[in-house]
């Protein structure tokens, strides 16, 4: 049966061509995600090692302050790299892809900054209390 003799409701549907895949992923997006993961890991490790030092009585609280400080530094780095990557991807949607990676990086960077600041503050207060005692009334 020739194609013109087929009823219109039985003809093959015509679909539009799929969009061209976006090109490469922005490199700042991956750097943002890696920096934010390291910030979160440093903050969690610093907190857990500090708790372990308190429970075992090691008294090495000052060493665990050093893990909170890099987390506070890596968090904003991840945030700004992620925001920059999102802006660059939005500016050139056909050549750059991977929008969710930098968004995850800058959100985790904010969380890493907060976690690092919290760890640093907790252990800083504990070191002050251990060295100088409780505050006077």
16 falls within a domain: no
115 falls within a domain: yes
Q: What is the pLDDT along the chain (137 residues), one digit of tens a residue?
A: 676 666 666 666 678 877 666 667 788 888 999 999 998 998 888 888 777 777 777 666 566 667 778 888 888 999 999 999 889 888 887 778 778 888 999 899 999 888 888 888 887 887 788 778 888 88
pTM score above 0.85: no
29 falls within a domain: yes
Total domain count, the chain: 1
- Give residue 35's region: left, alpha or beta (phi > 0; psi -120 to 50): alpha
4 falls within a domain: no
Domain containing 94 equals: 25-132
């Amino acid at each position: 049966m020739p194609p013109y003799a087929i009823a219109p409701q039985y003809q093959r549907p015509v679909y539009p061509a799929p969009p061209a895949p976006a090109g490469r992923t922005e490199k700042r997006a991956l750097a943002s995600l890696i920096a934010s993961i390291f910030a979160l890991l440093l903050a969690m490790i610093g907190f857990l090692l500090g708790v372990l030092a308190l429970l075992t009585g090691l008294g090495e609280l000052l060493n665990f302050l050093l893990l909170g400080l890099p987390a506070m530094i890596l968090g904003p780095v991840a945030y700004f790299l992620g925001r920059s990557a999102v802006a660059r991807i939005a500016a050139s949607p056909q050549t750059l892809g991977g929008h969710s990676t930098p968004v995850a990086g800058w959100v985790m960077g904010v969380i890493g900054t907060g976690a690092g600041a919290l760890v640093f503050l907790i252990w800083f207060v504990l070191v002050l209390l251990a060295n100088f005692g409780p505050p006077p009334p």
